[in-house]
A and B are shown apart, each in its own frame.
Chain A
Amino acid sequence: MTALKAWMNSPSFDNTVQKWTGKVRDFIIGICTAIIIIGVCYVILSPVIGIVSTAFMTAEDMMNPLVFLIPQNLTLSNLNYAVTHMQYFRGPGLSDLIIPVVGFNVTQAFFSLVEGTFIYDAANFISSILSGALLQTLLFSFFLSIVNVIICSMVGYGFARFKFPGSNVLFAIVILTIVVPVHSYMVPMFLNFRYFLGFDWNLLNTWWPLTLLSITGVGIRSGLYIYIFRQFFRGLPKEIEEAAFIDGAGPLYTYTKVMMPNSVPAIVTVLLFSFVWHYNDTFFTSLFMNDANFLSVRLMALGGTFSVVEVVFSQHLIQMVVFGGVLLVIAPILIIYLFLQRYFVEGLERSGIVG
């Protein structure tokens, strides 16, 4: 008894109690965190789980009320139909492919030149792969998101670090560009690209309209990217720029060699958002590039196309194929995201240098 009392009065007892309360606290916090994260994940995942399981079901499973989520017979036929009707891998061919050349269709000229030879067949095969919806969408989104990162970071840097007359008013206009809904000026914009700069110069159905919008910083949600970069640059310590200035670096050099390498988290964020929003966009692509073979537009049309071509009228069967299509559209971005996520973490170490 006395030994116990002596132990309770000793400092080692305090240490033990502290250690155990700390452990219990960490355990309880861990459990609560896990519950919240798992719960929220379920809310997000539940439609996806449904889509994935339905996409691999056969028609019998779909109609069987005893089957819920776990298919009895796995099949790839839904995905197969989706791949075919969305022109996922194989497109209509290069003669329809949109390449950014104004006023002159290079591909059509080439095809009429080699007609009847084996070159025609080979070119047709290659071009059908090149014009596949997946490849087209990836190329298009990647190109425009790179453009967005370059332009918006430049503009954002200009707003973040340089004081010039009217900078606040101009920055208010940046916000205005994201607030004013695009559809309120879409008809003038459409006409603007149909008769570009007032000439009979048709830019529709080329990559030019969206490229021009992105290059000039008013593309799909460009205002938001400018805003993100501006806020990020303002959050970086000014000392490194002052050091660069004293060492004789000009503004452009400071921007490319000092600021950009230090803003990897912002770059990855903007790259990712820009990529996803171009990938998902249906508004601009259907407005400017009606003939283009893009995934989001194909997905919108998938139900109708499948129903007409395969002569299927059961809503359930159509839905199964559409879910297959949704899966095929989501999967590539998810893979890209998993790859880019490493750079989020890398940003952590890089900003450690800054501090």
Chain B
Amino acid sequence: MEKTLGQRRKGLSLRGREVLSGFLFISPWIIGILVFFALNLGQSIIFSFNNIIIDQEHGGFDLQWAGLSHYHHIFFVDGSFNRELVESIGQMLINVPLIIFFSLFMAILLNRAFLGRGLVRAIFFLPVIMATSAIEGSLELIVSLMMGGVTSVPPEIMRAEQGFDATSIAFMLSEFGMPMVIIEYIIQAIAMLHDIIRASGVQILIFLAALQAIPPSMYEVAQIEGATGYEAFWKITIPMVSPLILTNVVYTIVDTFARSEVITSAREMMFTTVSLADGTRVMAFGQSSAMALVSSLAACAVLLIVGWAISKYVFYYN
């Protein structure tokens, strides 16, 4: 009855109304994408095919067509871009599983009831607060202060700058006859422990929200039916948080990419100038845009592959 009334009033089928309301819900975003994203990104792509010459008398800048020369430069002339790109992607692929496992594990621990839980959760929120360039600069100093006192830094503390003396572990493991590949991975994981903990603040919070959205009644039912905690974890917890595992993987890839070497060097290059063959000074912005665009394309490719692979296993409640 309701359906026919609606049809007569709006002259739209149920499907048509769904399409219309879908577009209405995302309409602010469509405006934003067109006006602030596509337009600017398009401009940036144009910049990457041009030399940008600062007009020093009148202000502003002129564009001079440069064709593919910036792209040619970053791939075949610039010594570091290729290496940085490959290293950044490789680092990303190592970090993402470590961060995801660690943050899911910590979120499950933090979701249990224990004494001082509120305090611990506040502590885990600290890396999110402190991940700003304003604070990070002074953090490096305080880490070395904490490790080495103020005025004197004994050599044995210097060696343990990562917070853990990894060399002794390495010697011990190689005495045991462990293969070098595994030792290297362990050492790397230990050396990155601090970075991983600091990089997983956001992921832990997202997982916590996901864990708390699981209806407790599900666990009650599972318990009544005789499921063990282990079974409940694989049959309830993992499927229920799986949409947010995908979210976190996407976020982690994006976040590691934003902090990666290749992006940092593209950003540093942005406001430098380079001289052309004929001696005119141009902004390196064109080249920097080319670097940023190429590395974004690479990151998108990784996201697409990883996202597609994971989304096959994601469980949606309905």
Binding site for B on A (CB under 8 A): 30, 33, 36-37, 40-41, 43-51, 54, 62-65, 67-68, 151, 154-155, 157-159, 161-165, 167, 170, 173-181, 183-185, 187-189, 192, 212-213, 215-218, 222, 224, 226-228, 231-232, 234-239, 246, 248, 250-252, 255, 265-266, 268-269, 272-273, 276, 280-283, 296-297, 299-300, 316, 319, 322-323, 326, 329-330, 333-334, 337-338, 341, 344-345, 347-348, 351-352, 354-355
Contacts and interface: CB of A to CB of B under 8 A. Distances in A.
A272 B128 CA distance: 10
B205 A164 contact: no
A86 B9 CA distance: 60
A71 to B, nearest CB: 12
Contact of B109 (A36, A299, A337, A341): A36
Contacts of A236: 317
- Do most interface residues of chain A lie in helix, strand or loop, or is the interface mixed? helix
B293 interface: yes
B289 A184 contact: yes
Contact of B18 (A164, A319, A347): A164
B275 interface: no
Given A40-B197, A63-B151, A183-B267, A216 B213 contact: no
A50 B140 CA distance: 11
A333 B125 CA distance: 10
A161 B26 CA distance: 11
7 closest A-B pairs by CB: A355-B215, A216-B32, A158-B25, A162-B22, A184-B292, A188-B43, A280-B132
B134 A282 contact: yes
A110 to B, nearest CB: 33
A44 B122 contact: no
Contacts of B120: 37, 41
B212 to A, nearest CB: 5
Given A167-B22, A218-B29, 19 more contacts: A41-B123, A54-B145, A63-B150, A162-B25, A170-B26, A177-B37, A188-B47, A189-B36, A212-B36, A213-B32, A213-B36, A228-B247, A235-B316, A239-B318, A255-B25, A300-B137, A326-B135, A334-B125, A345-B212
Contact of A231 (B21, B106, B138, B246): B246
Interface in B106-149: 106, 109-110, 112, 114, 118, 120-135, 137-139, 141-143, 145-146, 149
B88 to A, nearest CB: 12
A269 B292 CA distance: 30
Given A43-B194, A164-B22, A185-B43, A173 B114 contact: no
Interface residues of B, number: 103
B44 interface: yes
A344 B131 CA distance: 22
Interface stretch (B64-72, B76-84, B165-173, B251-259): B251-259
B270 interface: yes
B129 A189 contact: no
A180 B130 contact: no
Nearest to B141: A319
A159 B26 contact: yes
Given A177-B37, A255-B25, A299 B318 contact: no
17 contacts: A44-B198, A47-B146, A54-B142, A63-B151, A155-B28, A162-B18, A184-B44, A188-B41, A192-B36, A237-B317, A266-B209, A273-B205, A276-B129, A280-B131, A323-B138, A337-B129, A355-B214
